[in-house]
Structure 1
């Protein structure tokens, strides 16, 4: 009898909503009470968003983010995100898209058992998680399709931006160097620093006697990344190296005898092999960067306009 009554209630509620009464909050409030979904928060295209929906989405977000300390502002943003996702038109998501994301998420755990345990602890089922991922991808795909024509960047726009910001587009001085490195970072024990200092002096003597820099770097350098390349660091600008290291490199000419110095990382035998002086960048050099900058700004504007349009589909009941 109980199940029959529940079925009748379900059919009745569906009929009411189907007849257009779904636009009235009271219908959804009653349905939310019957099905224990909590208070009605908003109506989106005659579909109710309830407290239970927000709580479920919050658990999913907590699991995906690996944290449980969402504050009130984040919860409100989550509510708005859920409402916005409900406002999106339905469209299918390729199974392999959500599957790849789910696999990437699972790969963050040591094994499938840990992944399932984490899901259980978060109160999120794999089905729910897969649905959430599919909803997210669906929303992203729909948004990109809606704004695609608005984010295209023309050659004229790139040219104009370049002319207005030309002074900003400069290639800084880039130096190519090689080094033999002995680690003695700041805070090392005095005896360690002293031993490394003596070792770099010994290396200076060996290089002075004509030993090959490449072979010596491979033999004694403690920079594992460069020693297999004979100590070669490739080209670098000032922002890639410790200040004292770059300043020393700037004072050297290509293929001059090595200079020996101490940085906050340790001791170096440094030799410059090539220099590319600073120069203005051409339009061709920076077209990809400018295109990305303009497209990003256009995308922000287009998404904001789209969010405003979606808001018109939403009727808040509880705030």
Structure 2
């Protein structure tokens, strides 16, 4: 999906904010470390403590910003979130027991990857809005990486998908592997018709489509030369389908208007409709079966951790503060 420059800026910032909030929700620790006795302990898991203040700060970040919740809805969400916190603390306690660590270089590499889509100014602004320092963020990132490591080591290490399982899935779900006709296309999007007509003239004179898309397209895929990848009918807006599925390979479309601007398309390849053979469908099947097996293994691992862990929850304290 594409949009004008202003819409794309909002879209990108929204996704960054979404990623930021998800990671913050996953990594519970408070905005600042608390001094002794400043807040009562709500939860203990194998010696790890979570204070009420830390829990409340983290919980508030998970709530929709503009939606008004009833007291009962808020209470239900709080109980659900408490379960997530327990699971997180169980994982960290197990990481402690197994001496799972992340190195400073691993943390720095992950920090670079998670902030690569931000300008320094954007990232600093987001930190300020969340009342976080870079050290806070780095500590939470390291904690999340420890959780990922211990899950991979203790829960996923024995998960394997056999060839017979792949074959059995294919046999049972043959209809899922009827692939429709697909095209691989590029697009170039501009805000004004005049600009589009001018660029269309340059393309017809032999200039490279990908190069012009990188330089002028308002769509995020412009960074990849306008490459939309492979898609079938119905996966893109109807204005796209009406053009690209009729366009000959190697031909450039006329200017196409949509709610997002003015588009030019280039179809690079076509795939006819076909039924995938087992060997063609196997990578997709194996990936799905691996995901399902890992999810089952993770849940079984958590159940086992809960059985042997010492978990204390001050429900009276939680009930007293439900209206806060």
* Distance of aligned partners of 1:43 and 1:278 in 2 relative to their CA distance in 1, 3 Å threshold: same
Q: Is the 8 A contact 1:179 1:217 kept in 2?
A: no
Q: Aligned to 1:316, what secondary structure does the other structure show?
A: strand
For the pair 1:76 / 2:82, whether they are aligned, the reply is yes
Q: Give distance in 2, aligned partners of 1:95 and 1:89.
A: 17
Q: Is the 8 A contact 1:58 1:78 kept in 2?
A: no
Match in the other structure for 2:53: 55
* Distance of aligned partners of 1:145 and 1:180 in 2 relative to their CA distance in 1, 3 Å threshold: closer
* Distance of aligned partners of 1:98 and 1:56 in 2 relative to their CA distance in 1, 3 Å threshold: farther
Q: Residue 247 of structure 1: CA displacement?
A: 3.8
Q: Give distance in 1, aligned partners of 2:313 and 2:267.
A: 69
For the pair 1:138 / 2:146, whether they are aligned, the reply is yes
Q: Aligned to 2:156, what secondary structure does the other structure show?
A: helix
Aligned length: 258
Partner of residue 264 from structure 1, selected from 234, 258, 264: 258
Query: With structure 2 as the length reference, what TM-score do the two structures score?
Result: 0.57
The structure showing larger relative contact order (alpha-carbon pairs under 8 Å, at least 6 residues apart) is: 2
Q: Give distance in 2, aligned partners of 1:180 and 1:79.
A: 46
* Distance of aligned partners of 1:232 and 1:129 in 2 relative to their CA distance in 1, 3 Å threshold: closer
Q: Give distance in 1, aligned partners of 2:141 and 2:265.
A: 51
Q: Aligned to 1:88, what secondary structure does the other structure show?
A: helix
Q: Give distance in 2, aligned partners of 1:103 and 1:182.
A: 32
Q: Residue 245 of structure 1: CA displacement?
A: 4.4
Aligned-residue CA RMSD in angstroms? 5.1
Q: Residue 165 of structure 1: CA displacement?
A: 1.2
Q: Give distance in 2, aligned partners of 1:272 and 1:102.
A: 38
Partner of residue 118 from structure 1, selected from 115, 128, 134: 128
Query: CA offsets, 1:147-188, max 9 Å, x none?
Result: 23442111111111111112111222134678999867xxxx
* Distance of aligned partners of 1:237 and 1:39 in 2 relative to their CA distance in 1, 3 Å threshold: same
Q: Is the 8 A contact 1:37 1:50 kept in 2?
A: no
Q: Residue 104 of structure 1: CA displacement?
A: 4.4
5+ residue gaps in structure 2? 1-34, 316-324
Q: Residue 308 of structure 1: CA displacement?
A: 1.2
Query: CA offsets, 1:190-213, max 9 Å, x none?
Result: xx7xx899x79xx9xx9xxxxx97
Deviates most, 302-311 or 101-110: 101-110
Query: With structure 1 as the length reference, what TM-score do the two structures score?
Result: 0.58
For the pair 1:41 / 2:31, whether they are aligned, the reply is no
Match in the other structure for 2:110: 101
Partner of residue 156 from structure 1, selected from 127, 145, 164: 164
* Distance of aligned partners of 1:118 and 1:249 in 2 relative to their CA distance in 1, 3 Å threshold: closer
Q: Give distance in 2, aligned partners of 1:254 and 1:127.
A: 52
5+ residue gaps in structure 1? 1-33, 185-191, 207-211
